[in-house]
Structure 1
Amino acid sequence: MNETIRGLLTRFGGLPVPVADIADDADLYAAGLSSFASVQLMLGLEEEFDMEFPDNLLNRKSFASIGAIEKTVDMILGSRKVA
């Protein structure tokens, strides 16, 4: 999942640094992720993982780092299996 998220971040993030150089816990907004890019990334994640972000997870915290994105997507996919 981490590799897929990094690929989507490379595609949609528009970051001025290579995604490969960003640690999983690094602040993506400090690295240059804009609000517009985070929306594009969210749409890419939804398509890639065939899921939808619930309103309560559409916030800056969910996209703060690669690790946070991975945790959020994992939580959404996990809750979908239970439901």
Structure 2
Amino acid sequence: MNGEIRALLAKLGGLPVSIDTIDDNGDLYAAGLSSFASVQLMLGLEEAFDIEFPDHLLNRKSFASIAAIENTVKTILADRKVA
């Protein structure tokens, strides 16, 4: 999952630095992720993982780092299995 997220960030994130230079816990907004790019990333994640972000997870914290994105996607997938 980490590799897929990194690939989507590289493609959709519009970051001025290589995704390979960003640690899993590195601040993506400090690295250059814009609010527009985070929406593009969200749409890419929804397509790649066949998920839909619920309103309560549409916030800066959910997209703050690669680790945060991975945890958010895992939460959505786990909630879907329970429902």
Q: TM-score range by the shorter chain?
A: over 0.9
Q: Does 1:75 find its partner at 2:75?
A: yes
Q: Which amino acid aligns with 2:47?
A: E
Identity within the alignment, %: 73
Q: Which amino acid aligns with 1:77?
A: L
Aligned residues: 83
Give the secondary-structure state (helix, strand or coil) at the position aligned to 1:29. coil
Q: Where does residue 61 of structure 2 map in the other structure?
A: 61
How far apart are residue 42 of structure 1 and its match? 0.1
Q: Where does residue 48 of structure 1 map in the other structure?
A: 48
CA distance in 2: counterparts of 1:20 and 1:3, whole angstroms: 10
Segments of 5+ residues of structure 1 without an aligned counterpart are none
Q: Please give the root-mean-square deviation of Cα atoms over the aligned residues, in Å.
A: 0.3
Following superposition, which runs of at least 4 residues in structure 1 exceed 6 angstroms of deviation? none
